[in-house]
A and B are shown apart, each in its own frame.
Chain A
């Protein structure tokens, strides 16, 4: 297929998959096969486009004219390609994990769950491929609405409250601020197409540029820049696979991706850095980085702590964009990838712990690492990547972000990044330490075993995805782990963190054309 034909298929296939899931909802095995096959095919389609984009092509496709002169159009470029690649690749891994998790946890309404998941992925790809701001906004909203049933999946009063916060903030900011920004942009410039170098220069006055930028950055609630971050911790009532793929990768990355996209293609990096309009928002992002980390330290619920960690890490990317330099954009783009692998690993681990031991609070996890060594080792790997230590991928994105800060003579941002790393150490590593070194809580009567052969097990588990319909504990070689599909998935993404350390330069080279000419 030529690239122009691949685009509609990549968007439509998850929807077809959703339909297939609906039809086959009565037979869980077939239903989940449909999901898995769909995710594989979608990834193959997306992956087939990489070469074209790497070669500097911009395949495009237009679908109808929604408003006179403004169509739903799709144009591929490196940033979007990276985001679509990550979302569709991790969808496969998450699907495997989900099958283990949902069955292990005996969740209800699984068909609805898989349908909404597929629709959410389709809209994430729509955001990634969007050729103009209208298209991006359309899919942005579809993503919000399709994930609402996932957040409120359990139907409890708590889920209902969380759903209100989720919808209230995301719809409120997107319609109340972002849409206003978009229409204002359109009435000033007469176009919403993503154009290299931006569309504003010479058409918009500097003061209005600053207002518009604020409307966009805060209107993109999914980027969770404070004070519009409350929806993300609220969304943690969702089943863990949702938190893992959507609220650590697809949804939140859609937000920061949009911020990068408008910085590069609507405002233009050069135009912004000339005006300095983005500096104060960069400070807001820096503040979010530190404050969210501080809040994370005080959270005892593991998923809540990870959620605040995500808020903090997202603002790295916003900061990268708002520094308005080429390196900042590249660093932000790379951080989308690196953080995705690191954070999804951490969430997979949190879910595995929940399935295998029904523990959600960190204070309950004393000594748990001895029973679940694979999970805790992978948690350690994910943490180190998030902190930004070699030999894991996270170090590179942080490196380029710090370089960008140094390049713009904003020493304070370098300091913020370094302090944040220390804070990450302070709130992530104690979980692992507690798991391995502290004795189990006194009320825990289960026996524990010696655990020296962790690495061999991790590899073995990755190769034994086998039958997941068994009990939700998996006892093997003296361990009491989550179902093999869960463990396999989290070991795989943890390995990904390591691989990315080696291949980070490929990501860098791939993103370079986005900021052509601004990076030496």
Chain B
């Protein structure tokens, strides 16, 4: 029965495909292989989500060794949901990658690019599916190391320093995480997440476990780029090859948020850590700071990829704010925004990939008159931008609605006001681009360009289309996110 082995296949298929890419070497063949693999992964994750929704949590023991001795994979609604996000982004990014990567990465290194892309997806899926805190670290490293390579692969040499900076910060984050896991192991003698959740409440009052929590939170906050631990992110996103930025922006930070959720709501769920320790207010305050700082800095960026990177910081703030509310609606808002933000920001970075493909630059000043020259691409930018602002019928509206509803439920009036005001900052930075693209005449000497090729337009339109489809039918995503949130919060009380 192949269906019983879906959890391991989800991880092992891209893991094996990566070295195969290195053997095949030919750019076109490796691309084709990576594309097929990414679609297979998507199919598996959708099947897993259906299985979970039909029959509840799936527990898969690797090699037949029962936990806590062996490593187990656990798929519940939350992890299936995050895997669907990762694989669906992967499935549209890989076809898109062909032309974009050819343009921005040396031809003789393309096979490494596809291998790393697959490895990165492996790592992200592994983090999501594993039920073991140490195994999570292993996958965290797999995804991080491949990410460093990916970021540095572009022809823009600033990518190297960006990758190096990311390497330092990322390693710090991973180290903090593993210190936290070590401290927990010291007190409980187990690495299995479900086991930890049972044993932690008894020792929760000890300094050691509290230190563990601090290390875990800070470590993951670096990985998910929570303000003010975000310094690696803007340059990494701005100077990485465009297609890498699309993939990272839509998946990597989301998975880090997932890992934080596992720590806070699953491992420390039994002691309701958000209520008992002041961590909740710290997270909420940092999230709000991120919402404003990210958007405010985004307004002044001249490189649009960098601008979108800062916008991501603000959006991460919304997710963390939702989680910090520690209510079903709040967590639902955070979880649904994981998906929604992946769709819209992935789509927007794809737009920038198309722009870079044609004009070779992501600078605002070079985009004058593009509205006429690349109508589909810039139309998609406007649509994605509207979604980022949170205009009705877009996914951004669904997220904002749910988040505001959660704030009202909690009686956090000032926070509701802050959410609204910060979301209006998006109007400013999106509109700067719209005005240049549509109202400014191209500078003298600027070469007129054609619309981006179809192979890039279609994946881009898929993501932008999704960010409106799920904005009109928000019930479908909210139901899944709501189920996951109920399971997380239900575990507490």
Asked if B420 and A179 make an inter-chain contact with CB atoms under 8 angstroms apart, the answer reads yes
Asked if A180 and B416 make an inter-chain contact with CB atoms under 8 angstroms apart, the answer reads yes
Asked if B482 and A138 make an inter-chain contact with CB atoms under 8 angstroms apart, the answer reads no
Asked if B424 and A171 make an inter-chain contact with CB atoms under 8 angstroms apart, the answer reads yes
Of B390, B392, B427, the residue contacting A138 (CB under 8 A) is: B392
Asked if B424 and A186 make an inter-chain contact with CB atoms under 8 angstroms apart, the answer reads no
Whose C-beta in chain A lies nearest to the C-beta of B386?
Answer: A145
On chain A, the residues within 8 Å of B431 by CB distance are 164, 167
B423 beta carbon closer than 8 Å to chain A: yes
Asked if A183 and B439 make an inter-chain contact with CB atoms under 8 angstroms apart, the answer reads no
Contact of A68 with B478 at beta-carbon distance under 8 Å, contacts A141-B392, A145-B386 already known: yes
On chain A, the residues within 8 Å of B417 by CB distance are 180
Give the CA-CA distance A176 to B416 in the complex, in Å.
10
Segment touching B, from A59-67, A95-103, A294-302, A343-351 = A59-67
On chain B, the residues within 8 Å of A152 by CB distance are 439
Give the CA-CA distance A177 to B409 in the complex, in Å.
18
Give residues 180-203 of A contacting B (CB, 8 Å).
Answer: 180, 183-184, 186-187
Asked if B427 and A168 make an inter-chain contact with CB atoms under 8 angstroms apart, the answer reads yes
Asked if A65 and B420 make an inter-chain contact with CB atoms under 8 angstroms apart, the answer reads no
Contact of A187 with B391 at beta-carbon distance under 8 Å, contacts A66-B474, A167-B431 already known: no
Contact of A66 with B427 at beta-carbon distance under 8 Å, contacts A176-B421, A179-B404 already known: no
Asked if A180 and B401 make an inter-chain contact with CB atoms under 8 angstroms apart, the answer reads no
A262 to chain B, nearest CB (A): 17
On chain B, the residues within 8 Å of A163 by CB distance are 435
Give residues 122-176 of A contacting B (CB, 8 Å).
Answer: 137-138, 141-142, 145, 152, 155, 157, 159-160, 163-164, 167-168, 171-172, 175-176
On chain A, the residues within 8 Å of B416 by CB distance are 180, 183-184
Give the CA-CA distance A157 to B439 in the complex, in Å.
8
Asked if A175 and B390 make an inter-chain contact with CB atoms under 8 angstroms apart, the answer reads yes
Contact of A172 with B424 at beta-carbon distance under 8 Å, contacts A67-B401, A68-B479 already known: yes
Give residues 455-473 of A contacting B (CB, 8 Å).
Answer: none
Asked if A160 and B475 make an inter-chain contact with CB atoms under 8 angstroms apart, the answer reads no
Of A66, A141, A180, the residue contacting B475 (CB under 8 A) is: A66
B417 to chain A, nearest CB (A): 7
On chain B, the residues within 8 Å of A159 by CB distance are 439
Count how many pairs of residues, one from A and one from B, have CB atoms less than 8 Å apart in the complex: 77
Asked if B473 and A175 make an inter-chain contact with CB atoms under 8 angstroms apart, the answer reads no
Secondary structure at chain B's binding surface: helix, strand, loop or mixed? helix
Asked if B392 and A171 make an inter-chain contact with CB atoms under 8 angstroms apart, the answer reads no
Chain B 386-402 interface mask (CB, 8 Å, partner A; 1/0): 10011111000010111
Chain A 260-303 interface mask (CB, 8 Å, partner B; 1/0): 00000000000000000000000000000000000000000000
Contact of A137 with B427 at beta-carbon distance under 8 Å, contacts A64-B473, A65-B475, A68-B479 already known: no
Asked if B473 and A160 make an inter-chain contact with CB atoms under 8 angstroms apart, the answer reads no
Asked if B424 and A66 make an inter-chain contact with CB atoms under 8 angstroms apart, the answer reads no
Secondary structure at chain A's binding surface: helix, strand, loop or mixed? helix
Give the CA-CA distance A168 to B435 in the complex, in Å.
13
On chain A, the residues within 8 Å of B475 by CB distance are 65-68
Of B390, B391, B404, B408, the residue contacting A145 (CB under 8 A) is: B391
A66 to chain B, nearest CB (A): 5
Asked if B389 and A171 make an inter-chain contact with CB atoms under 8 angstroms apart, the answer reads yes
Of B398, B409, B439, the residue contacting A187 (CB under 8 A) is: B409
On chain A, the residues within 8 Å of B391 by CB distance are 141, 145, 171
Give the CA-CA distance A248 to B424 in the complex, in Å.
27
B385 to chain A, nearest CB (A): 11
A113 to chain B, nearest CB (A): 15
Whose C-beta in chain B lies nearest to the C-beta of A66?
Answer: B474
A64 to chain B, nearest CB (A): 6
On chain A, the residues within 8 Å of B479 by CB distance are 68
A61 to chain B, nearest CB (A): 16
Give the CA-CA distance A501 to B441 in the complex, in Å.
51
On chain A, the residues within 8 Å of B420 by CB distance are 175-176, 179-180
Of A138, A171, A180, the residue contacting B393 (CB under 8 A) is: A138
Asked if A66 and B473 make an inter-chain contact with CB atoms under 8 angstroms apart, the answer reads yes
Asked if A175 and B423 make an inter-chain contact with CB atoms under 8 angstroms apart, the answer reads yes
Whose C-beta in chain B lies nearest to the C-beta of A63?
Answer: B472
On chain A, the residues within 8 Å of B409 by CB distance are 187
Contact of A171 with B472 at beta-carbon distance under 8 Å, contacts A68-B479, A160-B439, A187-B405 already known: no
Of B400, B423, B438, B472, the residue contacting A64 (CB under 8 A) is: B472
On chain A, the residues within 8 Å of B438 by CB distance are 155
Give the CA-CA distance A184 to B479 in the complex, in Å.
21
Contact of A186 with B392 at beta-carbon distance under 8 Å, contacts A172-B424, A175-B424 already known: no
Give the CA-CA distance A431 to B355 in the complex, in Å.
52
A72, A167, A187: most-surrounded residue (chain B CB, <10 A): A187
Give the CA-CA distance A138 to B391 in the complex, in Å.
8
On chain A, the residues within 8 Å of B401 by CB distance are 67, 179, 183
On chain B, the residues within 8 Å of A142 by CB distance are 392-393
Give the CA-CA distance A141 to B401 in the complex, in Å.
15
Q: Which residues of B are in contact with A by a Cβ distance under 8 Å? A: 386, 389-393, 398, 400-402, 404-405, 408-409, 416-417, 420-421, 423-424, 427, 431, 435, 438-439, 471-475, 478-479, 482
* A-B CB contact pairs (8 Å), 8 listed: A68-B478, A137-B392, A142-B393, A160-B439, A164-B435, A167-B427, A176-B420, A183-B416
Given pairs A142-B392, A175-B420, 8 additional interface contacts (CB within 8 A):
A141-B391, A164-B435, A167-B427, A171-B389, A176-B420, A179-B401, A179-B404, A184-B408
